[in-house]
Amino acid sequence: MKRLTAFALSIALLIMLSPGAHADMVTLIKSDDIFTDTGKISWDQNSGSTTVYVSPVRAQDISTGSDFLAFCGDFRTSLSNDFKNGGQDYAARTFEDVDFLEIYSPWQITALTELFGRVYSSAFDSTGDVVGEIEARALQLTVWSILGYDDAKKENSFKGLTEYNYTNWEDVIEMSQSWLNALMDVAEWAPEFFKITEYNYTVYVAIDAMGKLNHNASQTLISVKEAAVPEPASIVMFGMGLAGLGLLRRRKK
């Protein structure tokens, strides 16, 4: 009986430590735009350009009805019509997943987490509501700048914002550039940015009609949520799981 109990507790621990359902498929639909001013962005040597909202979007999980703030990951890929209307299938991933790192380099992920950890709270509160308008717009622009760097060409394929139907768009660009400069030398961050907030990140990669992950099927989305403090019950389960593993080890001896 003791052996069975120890085994059960050990399994509980392993479940808690496992990646879980991060690769589960979810169906998302756009519920709202944070800002609806259009801006023109350009990229690459061939002067490719498009008109977009320089803004995160609010997405809704159709199965749960819950809304969350999502940053757009690829400025060259449009959000699919399915996402805008009926619902787009996505695979929920983490930054550590190999298929995500095939597109983005580890340094880009580090830069993103550094950026969000330092400035996200100046743009949005814990529910995803805007607390700083210029900061919120600049944050999306900076995400594009970081993820737009082409490691193979050793240059940023994202050339930036050339037009914007927003009165203070020069302030948005200036703030974004100051953050990028600071990321190159963390020592230059203003004192209020030295405290880094821990966040959990979910990367939503589109699934195409063939059921395969396809970054071109719809723009990749990135959600940011403040890391939760473990609940007392979770801490107790964690301790019980460790105790179970210890008991099994002693019995083997």
Domain ranges of the chain: 29-227
Whether the per-residue pLDDT at 52 is higher than 90: the answer is no
Amino acid letter for position 242: L
Nearest-angstrom CA–CA distance, 175 and 191: 16
11: confidence class by pLDDT, cuts 50, 70, 90: very low
Whether the per-residue pLDDT at 141 is higher than 60: the answer is yes
What average pLDDT does range 168-190 have in this prediction?
79
Range with the largest mean pLDDT of 39-53, 85-99, 122-136: 122-136
Q: Are 10 and 249 in contact (CB under 8 A)?
A: no
What does each C-alpha distance from 1 to 151, 166, 242 come to in angstroms? 57, 69, 18
What average pLDDT does range 131-149 have in this prediction?
92
What average pLDDT does range 69-97 have in this prediction?
90
Residues 6+ apart with CB under 8 A from 215: 74, 77, 103, 205, 206
SS (H, E, C) the chain: CHHHHHHHHHHHHHHHHCCCCCCCEEEEEEEEECCCCEEEEEECCCCEEEEEECCCEEEEECCCCCEEEEEECCCCCCCCHHHHCCCEEEEEECCCCHHHHCCCCHHHHHHHHHHHHHHHHHHECCCCCECCHHHHHHHHHHHHHHHCEECCCCEECEEEEEEECCCCHHHHHHHHHHHHHHHHCHHHCCHHHCCCCCEEEEEEEEECCCCCECCCCCCCEEEEEECCCCCHHHHHHHHHHHHHHHHHHHHHC
Residue 14 pLDDT: 42
What average pLDDT does range 197-206 have in this prediction?
90
| Arithmetic mean of pLDDT over the chain | 78
